[in-house]
Amino acid sequence: MSKFKEALAAKDFLLTVELDPPRGPELGPLTELAGQLAGRVDAVVVSDNRGARARLSPLLAGQALVKHSGAEVIMTLTCRDRNRLALISDLLAAAAAGVENLLLVSGDFVSLGDQPGTKPVYDLDSVQLLQLAAQMAQGRDPAGELAGPTPFFLGASLAPEARPLGPQVMKLKKKLAAGAGFLITKPLRGLAGLKEFAAAAGELPVKLIAGVEVAAGAEPAEVLSLAREVKAAGLAAGVHLAWPEQPQRLPDLVGQL
Partner 1 sequence: MIVAQRKPFAEIAEAAAGYRRVLVAGCGTCVAVCLTGGEKEAGILAAQLDIAAQLGEREQAFGVACVERQCDREFLDELAAQVAEHDAVLSLACGAGIQFLAERYPDTPVLAGVNTTFIGINNDVGVWGERCRSCRDCLLSVTGGVCPIALCPKGMLNGPCGGAEDGKCETDRERDCAWTLIYQRLENTGRLANLEPIITARNHQASLPGRQVHPAYERRYSAHE
Query: Footprint of partner 1 on this chain (CB under 8 A)?
Result: 79-80, 84, 105-109, 111-112, 120, 122-128, 131-132, 142, 157-159, 161-164, 166-168, 170-171, 174, 177-178, 186
Nearer to partner 1, 72 or 213 (CB): 213
To partner 1, the closest distance from the beta carbon of 123 in angstroms equals 7
To partner 1, the closest distance from the beta carbon of 249 in angstroms equals 26
> Can you tell me the distance from the alpha carbon of 125 to that of 79, in angstroms, rounded to the nearest whole number?
6
Nearer to partner 1, 125 or 229 (CB): 125
To partner 1, the closest distance from the beta carbon of 41 in angstroms equals 23
To partner 1, the closest distance from the beta carbon of 21 in angstroms equals 21
Integer CA distances (angstroms), 107 to 77, 82, 187, in order? 8, 11, 14
Strand bridging mode 144-145 / 140-141: antiparallel
Nearer to partner 1, 121 or 254 (CB): 121
> Can you tell me the distance from the alpha carbon of 179 to that of 190, in angstroms, rounded to the nearest whole number?
28
To partner 1, the closest distance from the beta carbon of 110 in angstroms equals 9
Nearer to partner 1, 60 or 198 (CB): 198
Q: Is 217 left (phi over 0), alpha (psi -120 to 50) or beta?
A: left
Nearer to partner 1, 57 or 106 (CB): 106
Q: What is the DSSP secondary structure assignment for residue 17, as one 8-state letter? A: E
Please measure the distance between the N-terminal and C-terminal CA atoms of the chain and give it in whole angstroms: 27
What one-letter code names the amino acid at 39?
A: G
Q: What is the DSSP secondary structure assignment for residue 12, as one 8-state letter? A: S
Segment holding 16, helix H or strand E:
strand 14-19
Nearer to partner 1, 72 or 81 (CB): 81
Helix axes 126-137, 165-178, angle to 10 degrees: 20
Nearer to partner 1, 37 or 194 (CB): 194
CB atoms within 10 A of CB 121: 17
To partner 1, the closest distance from the beta carbon of 168 in angstroms equals 7
The DSSP string of 134-191 is HHHHTTEETTEE-SS---PEEEEEE-TT-SSHHHHHHHHHHHHHHT--EEEEPPPS-S
To partner 1, the closest distance from the beta carbon of 164 in angstroms equals 6
